[in-house]
Structure 1
Amino acid sequence: MIIKKIDDNTVALIPEESDDLFTLRRVIDKGDRIIGDTSRAIKQEKDFARPDKAERIKIRIALDVEKISIDEVVDRLRVQGTIAESDNQSVSKGSHHSLTLKIGDAVTLIKKNWSEIEKRLVFEKKDHGAFLLVAIDTTDCGLGRLSGTHLKLLPNMYSGASGKRYKSKFNIQDFFKDVQSAISTLIRDGDSIVIFGPGETKKRLVNFLAEIPSIKGHKVQAVDGIDSSGEDGIYTFIKSDIMKQTLDTSKIAKVSAILDETMTRANKKSNKFTMGFEETARANEVGAVESLVFSDRIFEKQDEDKIIEFLNQVESKGVEVYAVDSTTDAGLRVSSLGGVISLLRFAPQS
């Protein structure tokens, strides 16, 4: 999340991934004020204008928050409240409105009082590690940006090298130029590039990118052991032990390690893990939780405000808390285990 502190009560924010929206859901409370862009239907008082027709225009408002909830679409938050200020005279103060927050939307949050957990959630720098994943062969290439545990994929790219009639015309350098152009649409400052796939094409692409000025400031590495390309190659890498070794300090690797350890303890019939909300909540009450992973699925089964209160209580005790979504295998696995799992410091007494 991009953050700029304006004063002791005010901060400008831009969520960059689903995890950031979960964070905002845990931080924004009733009584806060949020400033952002939205649209509203305004009736036009012009000659020949239809009296029943309203034009939807973009406006900037300050909204006094009354309710906030995760939308049915996971990568959106819906904030409801009354309009305190507006840049359009046609919009009356005190009228009700809802503001939808999405990844990439810039908002300003004003809170009268910031709790310690809210400060930690927003201002404590968390190095989740963002990676450009490239699964390439001579025939096709898959591209994805892994930020935290959120994976954004681009459509597969094809080189046109398949079939005998292409052999005399195919130029791998032209394909690499197309791949480099696509990488440029995804990459951000600080991202690393990880390239894999069958054969030697990945190493040739690394050498090609090394000569591109805009890429030279990024770490680029080729990884062996993934024998598929395209979108399938991306998903194979995400599930693999090679990913855990290559991205060992990343959030996705930490979450995968917690998942694997949970299943190991389950197979050994250990009591030092939990699955599901009720069991995890009981373990948290006695201070047993060491690390916790939750998915968006948990909000479908439990009261949303209850879940937010629970997550904030857990993190206030110094527990490592990770959010995942369904864009990766880790998110799907957590969802299938009740939406929340945890590793425990000790086994609570029955």
Structure 2
Amino acid sequence: MKILSKNLKRGSVKVVPETTDDIWVLHTVIQPGDLVRARTVREVHFGERGSGRSSRVPMTLTIRVEKTEFQAFTTRLRVRGVVVEGPEKYGVLGKYHTMSIDVGRELEIVKPKGWPRSLLEKLESRGPQPAAVIVAVDYDEYAVAVARGQGVRVVAEGSLHLPGKDDPSREDALRESVAVIAKTVAGVVERENPLLVVVAGPGSLKDIVAERLHPLLPSRVKLYTDNVSMGGHAGVLEEVRRGVMRSALREAAAIQAERLMEEFERLLAKEPCRVAYTLDQVLEAASMGAVEKLLVLDEMLHHPDPEVRRRVDELLRLADSTRAEIHFVSAEAPAGARVKSLGGVVAILRYALQLGGKACA
């Protein structure tokens, strides 16, 4: 979740959801009576009622929330309520409106009575979020930053101080600078435990840095290169603005889901009573507070059967209340297909449980 601004005196927080996980967090955070302000589209009728034309008009509205629900067949969250602010010329005040909140859509949430600490903490840190390291480098400067769902933090930067192009010592100085950058990045990777590293910059220098860095990285960390127009802090920001990091973090979340699925399969073979799968089994385990890690196919959030959606919501709220790690995975991801074959929900348990007739050793 990217938090754009906070004004807790007026109970306002502006956010941009960046993953399906974030959409579900908003579902748990937005409550009846809250005010939600966002850009939306509304059908507007022109002329006498029942005559004339109508058109879908984009506008910014604020609604007083009455309920939220996941929309079937999509990853969107539907937020329904009465319009309390909007363009007067369209006569929308006092009428009902439903906003569709999707990944990448900015919105402001206002809680008139203030933000409970627990709900604010949900927005600020939803469990262990996947991280990526960005390195932006050119022949003048470099910067190293850590990107998570909440934003980007520059942790190291410096200048290369290279001699002129005709100076015979330039190549040695460049190799020295590249070695320093690679060592710095390796230290950040060891400390931050990211799932991927992106080396960005103009020309071929980024490839030289990536080549020097590659043997210093753990095998689990993926390494990418990308083109930006400059190095340093400005290069980091350019990389982020281009949206590459959002897709990289989505991939990081898929890698995280893959590792969780591997852990689940290992326990299924060796300690079958330490895992649960299918909605029935996992919901039973969650009601006992036994779920330690939960992996949910994102399709389950918007299942066409409203009863399934209700039970998934109940499961997520139970898991959340007992501080379980909650992760979502797309059906398109390799781990997603395996989760789907197991009923769309799998869990690693805190202790062994006999569920659904399983025999425990």
Structure 1 residue 29: Cα displacement: 2.5
Name which of 306, 309, 312 aligns with 1:304. Answer: 309
**SS at 2:272's partner residue?**
coil
Residue of structure 2 equivalent to 1:29: 31
The Cα shift of 1:205 comes to 9.8
**In 2 relative to 1, CA 22–127 (structure 1 residues): closer, same or farther, beyond 3 Å?**
same
**Matched residue, 2:8:** 7
Contact 2:279/2:343 (8 A) holds in 1: yes
Amino acid at match of 1:297: E
1:318 aligns with 2:323: yes
User: Mind listing any 5+ residue stretches in structure 2 that lack a counterpart?
Assistant: 135-146, 150-193, 201-205, 212-224, 237-247, 356-361
| Structure 2: distance between partners of 1:307 and 1:42 | 35
Confirm or deny: 8 A CA contact 2:287 2:318 kept in the other structure: no
Counterparts in 2 of 1:1-350, with a 5 A limit?
Answer: 1-3=1-3, 4-7=5-8, 9-44=11-46, 51-111=51-111, 112=113, 114=115, 117-124=118-125, 126-130=128-132, 192-193=197-198, 206=210, 213-214=229-230, 251-268=253-270, 270-299=272-301, 300=303, 302-349=307-354
The 1:210–1:321 alpha-carbon spacing in structure 2 relative to 1, beyond 3 Å, is closer
Secondary structure at the counterpart of residue 104 of structure 1: coil
TM-score, normalising length: structure 1: 0.62
d(CA) in 2 for partners of 1:114 and 1:15? 18
- Once the two structures are overlaid, the 10-residue window that deviates more, 276-285 or 114-123, is 114-123
Counterpart contact for 1:298–1:335, Cα < 8 Å = no
Q: Which has the higher helix share?
A: 2
CA–CA distance in structure 2, aligned partners of residues 212 and 282 of structure 1? 50
Structure 2 residue aligned with 1:137: none
Q: How much has 1:306 moved relative to structure 2? A: 3.9
Contact 2:132 2:197 in 1 (8 A): yes
The one-letter code matched in structure 2 to 1:36 is: A
Letter in 2 for 1:12: K
| Structure 1 residues without counterparts, runs of 5 or longer | 133-145, 149-189, 196-201, 220-237, 239-246
Distance 1:297 1:83 in 2: 30
Question: In structure 1, how many angstroms separate the alpha carbons of the residues matched to 2:317 and 2:42?
Answer: 34
Pairwise CA distance, 1:203? 5.7
Aligned CA distance change for structure 1 residues 211 and 91 (closer, same or farther; 3 Å): closer
Describe the shift of the 1:54–1:129 C-alpha distance in structure 2 as closer, same or farther (beyond 3 A).
same
Q: Which amino acid aligns with 2:281?
A: E
Residues of 2 paired with 1:109 and 1:211: CA distance? 36
Conservation of the 8 A alpha-carbon contact between 2:18 and 2:104? yes
How many residue pairs get aligned? The number is 259
**Residue 24 of structure 1 aligns to which amino acid in structure 2?**
L
Q: Tell me: CA distance 1:72–1:131, structure 2 relative to 1, closer, same or farther (3 Å).
A: farther
Percent pairwise identity: 24
Distance 2:72 2:148 in 1: 22
Q: C-alpha separation between the residues in 2 aligned to 1:54 and 1:194?
A: 50
